[in-house]
Chain A
Amino acid sequence: MNAVAERGYLLVRSDGVLWGVSNGDVRRLTRQGLRYHLEVGGIALGVDEVVGVVPELVVWPVSSALRRFWPEKAGGLAVHAEAPLVIIDPRRLPRALCIEGIEGEIADGEGRH
């Protein structure tokens, strides 16, 4: 099992799913009404809740079995407080978090750098 430890992750929750994004990838975090917008790779992502920041996470790559049933691209998987979470790949942002209107910009699966 390959595990990669990195420093500093922002944990957010949206539609009950826990997401983690590397602190270095987050450009801006703003409050929009009841929701939060964070800019990752020049793209604004909308989340319901900001859970917090953890100094480090053990990240496992997405297994082939999982990729078979889950088409989204992710930077890896991790566990925080006995709850699994998905690490966001700033180059391939998850469609579920993208704010409407900019979705077309990542339709090809490539974010902006």
Chain B
Amino acid sequence: MDPESTARTGERPLPEWATRFTDNALVGWVVIVGLTVFGFLLFLPGSSGAPPWPAWVFAAIAVAGIALYGTQVYPFFRQLERRLPESQTQWRLLEGKLIGAFEELGAGDLVRSNQQAKALPDRLSRALLAASDALSALATEIQNSSIEVASSADEVNQIASDLASGSSQQAASVVEITAAMEELARTASQIAENATRQAGLAARAEANGDAGALAVDEAVAGVEEVQKRITAISQRADALGTRSKEIYRVLELITEIAQETHILSLNAAIEAVAAGADGRRFSVVAEEVRHLAHRSQESVDSVRGLLDEFSSSIRATIVATEEGMKEAGRVLERSRAASTAITELRLASGDTSRVSQQISLATQQQNAASDEVVMTLREVSLVVQRMTGGLKNLSTTADRLNHLGLTIQLLAQSFHLDSPRSLKNLVEEMAKKLQKAGSAELETQLDELVQGYPFLQMGYFVDTTGYTVALAYNRSVGDGSKIALNLREIDMTKRPWYRSVSREKRSALTPPYDSLFNGEKVFTVASPILGRDGQFLGVVGVDINVTGWTRI
């Protein structure tokens, strides 16, 4: 009998005949002997001869088989038949435990599965525990990987978002640069046009400069001639001044003589008076001499007046010639400066003309280059737009990847693992603590538990009536006291997690749904709280926000 076939039959019992091993062994012996005799007879020849050797071989085998069965097989099976009912009972117990362990394993509760497996025979227990451990490790690894995936997706999403933002700015910049380059191209065209015009003007200025330089050179020559003549006038005026001084000296001499004559005439008059009547004629002469001296003095004064005017004129002439010299010098200096300036202007005009032509040429080239840059920028703009689109797709993909990570995480969290990162394990541990807590300290205990896990949005305990009797929200998500009050008035018996837990009496994990607390996407892990006698006392549940689940 094959035990495995029995095990696979499940709950169906073996038929009666199948349990009579000795009888079945006898039947088997008869069949073997019969087949041996049949083979002996088959190889017998006719009546005329002796039987061939195969017949004897069959006969010998038959005899040996009969002997062997009688000494070995029959007693064994006889003993086996006596021990079979006890083994079947043990097997059924073992089968039950094994099935229980596998059922727990199938339900994803590796903790209970392990507890069941510990009751199995050693090898089977070890094998099952090894399988459970491997599955647990796999689930843990899947959890970690899903978190990694989700975190990476978040990062990719953030990077994509940043890149998209940067691309948008880049696109805007490209648009601005394009506009600027187009404006630059227009400006370059105007510059080229102006440069061409300026080149023409500069050429004309150069030509005018030639004429101007010639005229200035002539003016310089004329001023130099004027300067020479002024110098000659100045020299003559100086000579006249010198002569005037000589005349002044002569006049002074004449004045001296006139004064002396005047004094002489006075003394003559004095002598005439002293001479009395004899001196009267002499006094007349003296008076004439005095008149002569007076007229001489008057003439000298007149000449001096004229000479003063003459000297004044000469001085004015000298001053005028000096001023004229200075002015001529200044004019000459200015004329030479003007000549130099015109020369420089001519050179500058020539340079300006050449530079303007170069500017015109360069701006034309710049214009062409600007057009190329504009075209390139437009291509860049298209690339940036495509890149922006790609980044949006990448962001969408990252979102999907994040969602996929969450899905995988939920799948992994569907296992109840003996791990601090197993939500079911976490909630069951919370349930155990809450079970031990009194009703007065239930909410305080729950609050402490919730605050210890930042990824928990809120925790609650719902009794058998379906109403929340203890509620705690994580204060890091804000003040939810008002909403929490409303939650206490909601009948939770219709909620899927409550129904699942109350029905199955085991932890449950929901897919993401909109939270009654704040409307955000959450998923719930709920576990039953059982009394000491195993009676159902209620459900403890926690909500995890999908935006923060990677902190698990």
The reply, when asked whether chain A contacts chain B directly with Cβ atoms under 8 A, is: no
